[in-house]
Amino acid sequence: MAAHPDDVVPEVPTVTTLRPVDDIAWTAVQRQRNADGSESVIRERWPIIRPGFLSAYVHYEPHMVVRRHGHRSNHVVILLDGDAEIAGRHCTAGTHVHVPLGAAFGPLVAGPTGVTCWELSFGEFGGWGDEAELFDAAVRARGVTPLPDPPIDLGDWFVDPRGDTGAVRPTPRIPGLEEVVTHFDDLPDEAAPPGARVVHAVAEPEFTSARIDLDPGAVLDLGRPGSHRLVLVTTGAVVVDGRVHPAGTHVEVPVGQTFGPMTAGPTGARLLTLTDG
């Protein structure tokens, strides 16, 4: 990967940022040749990519195969549309995968229409995979031929993790620690403000991951200024300070900053929220 000495390490923001995901360019990160001769690709949009944090909007084209792997940080994957097989389990939109530091997940095989996910790493986001035999078996069973990874050039600070097998740098694997796969629809509603329904996939003292449904006109304040908060509006729209933020809006709220209150639009809204700290 070419060096760019003029590049600087992306800074951690000190103000709340809102970005329409559709305004972010796609970057191809993995390719394969399928049994019928066609190619499938993984493409990512990065609302946030910096040394200590990644928020990625990821689309896996049909039948894409991804190795079983972990990350060098606490990691979350939420399926937004389509379906996939993850470690032999059929997963649909609304599936939540929590991969704590030291665990791995997969292999992931995208379904016949592909799958789109929101994926976040709370710390160093490099992936590692030390179970090559599982990936080999998955591609062999489907007649898939992995192709060279497309180049990614983000500047000097970026070290490409896609070939990390643990051979050069020890993995953070913790024996016996596994990914946790749940589905928001299978989890109970919790106490919430009027007009809101909240479901937590993870509810730890220092980390939470939730889905929030808001009725039309319902008001919600995220609170928790002492934590790093992420929000993705997945359906409907919310109004904040007189501005409408439709589905596809990605929000990062740094520690110490406030955001909201939010008022759901005329058709309501669905939000995915994560807090760290």
Please answer whether residues 134 and 68 qualify as being in contact, where contact means their C-beta atoms are separated by less than 8 angstroms: yes
pLDDT of residue 95: 98
Q: Which of 182, 201, 219 is the last residue of a domain?
A: 182
CB within 8 A of 205, min separation 6: which ones? none
Same domain? 107 vs 177: yes
Q: Say if residue 99 is exposed, middle or buried (CB neighbours under 10 Å; 0-12, 13-18, 19+).
A: buried
Final residue of a domain: which of 159, 182, 205? Answer: 182
Rounded CA-CA distance 48/56 in Å is 7
Euclidean distance between CA atoms 89 and 225, whole angstroms: 37
Q: What is the pLDDT of residue 151?
A: 95
**Can you give the pLDDT of all 277 residues of the chain as single tens digits?**
333 444 578 888 889 999 999 999 999 999 999 999 999 999 999 999 999 999 999 999 999 999 999 999 999 999 999 999 999 999 999 999 999 999 999 999 999 999 999 999 999 998 999 999 999 999 999 999 999 999 998 988 998 999 999 999 999 999 999 999 999 999 999 999 999 999 999 999 999 999 999 999 999 998 778 999 999 999 999 999 999 999 999 999 999 998 889 999 999 999 999 999 9
**What are 108's strand-pairing partners?**
66, 86
Cβ-based burial of 246 (10 A; exposed 0-12, middle 13-18, buried ≥19): middle
Do 172 and 45 sit in the same domain of this protein? yes
Q: What is the greatest pairwise CA distance in the chain?
A: 54
CATH number for the domain harbouring residue 110: 2.60.120.10
Sign of the dihedral through C-alpha 126, 130, 134, 139: positive
pLDDT of residue 223: 73
**pLDDT at residue number 7:** 57
Domain count of the fold of the chain = 2
Last residue of a domain, one of 182, 208, 229: 182
DSSP β-bridge partners for residue 70: 128
Q: Kindly list the distances between the CA atom of residue 202 and the CA atoms of 98, 167, 173, in Å, as whole numbers in the listed order.
A: 8, 32, 21
Domain assignment of residue 166, yes or no: yes
